């Protein structure tokens, strides 16, 4: 099994994980990061490309994406017994609706309201259909449906604002699938969520 993260532009400091038997830990970065447990792969790709389309970089097998702000504190072998492996996402802790998220990215993240409105006008997803935080995603890359979802997600992300939460659930809805969303009860046993911080080099 593979666990991977993406850290570019010194956006986060790599966190050493709780190491689980049988797992490889891979960090994609635009610079070499020395680590006891993470294998560092240098890349010039957009960080969201690797996050959204890991099948372009990794073997076609189950893999876990963990955001650079999140620390792995529990046994991942136990984690995957609690959530399905095909496409499981950490449920957004504050919202369950992509339209509410659209309002939030304008209000809290400074996204252009006109561009957000234009993007949301393309969707017919029902309100309160569910929303992922997307900071933790377990996907089975051997499943062609998963790869198709990721490819469509990337295209939709490229045609919208730079907030990937807005585009994933509409892709699921349009394709007739729904991800498994797990809550903080599971999240807090295996992961510790922190804030993004720019790394300072002395």
Q: For 191-200, how does the pLDDT look when each residue is reduced to its tens digit (9 = 90+)?
A: 998 765 554 4
- Angle among Cα 58, 170, 153 to the nearest 5 degrees reads 25
Ranges of the chain whose pLDDT falls below 50:
199-202
Give burial (CB, 10 Å; 0-12/13-18/19+) of 52: buried
- Class of 2-92+133-161+177-193 per CATH? alpha beta
Please tell me the predicted confidence (pLDDT) of residue 199.
47
Sheet containing 132-140, strands listed edge to edge, beginning at the edge strand earlier in sequence:
38-42, 24-29, 2-7, 62-66, 132-140, 87-91, 180-182
Contact criterion met (CB below 8 Å) for 4 and 54:
yes
First-to-last alpha carbon distance for the chain, in angstroms, is: 35
The SS3 call for residue 172 is helix
Alpha carbons 199 and 202: distance in angstroms, whole number? 10
Please give the Cα distance from 142 to 96 (Å, whole number).
28
From the list 57, 132, 139, the residue with the least C-alpha distance to 92 is 132
Alpha carbons within 13 angstroms on the beta-carbon side of residue 158 total 10
Distance in angstroms (rounded) separating the CA atoms of residues 156 and 61: 24
- Give the tokens for residue 161: 């604002």
Report pLDDT for 11: 66
Q: Which pLDDT belongs to residue 113? A: 96
Q: Where are the domains of the chain?
A: 2-92+133-161+177-193
């Amino acid at each position: 099994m593979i666990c991977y993260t993406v850290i570019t532009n010194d956006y986060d400091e790599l966190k050493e994980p709780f190491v689980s038997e049988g797992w490889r830990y891979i960090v994609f970065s635009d610079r070499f990061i020395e680590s006891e447990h993470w294998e560092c792969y240098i890349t010039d790709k957009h960080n969201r490309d690797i996050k959204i389309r890991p099948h372009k970089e990794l073997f076609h097998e189950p893999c876990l994406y963990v955001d650079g702000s999140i620390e792995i504190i529990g046994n991942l072998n136990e984690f995957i017994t609690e959530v399905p492996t095909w496409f499981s996402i950490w449920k957004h802790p504050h919202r369950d609706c992509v339209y509410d998220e659209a309002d939030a990215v304008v209000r809290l993240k400074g996204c252009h309201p006109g561009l957000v409105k234009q993007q949301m006008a393309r969707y017919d997803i029902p309100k309160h259909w569910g929303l992922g935080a997307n900071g933790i995603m377990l996907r089975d890359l051997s499943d062609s449906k998963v790869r198709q979802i990721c490819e469509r997600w990337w295209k939709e992300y490229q045609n919208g604002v730079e907030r990937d939460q807005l585009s994933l659930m509409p892709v699921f809805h349009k394709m007739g699938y729904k991800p498994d969303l797990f809550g903080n009860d599971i999240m807090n046993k295996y992961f510790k969520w922190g804030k993004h911080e720019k790394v300072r080099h002395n």
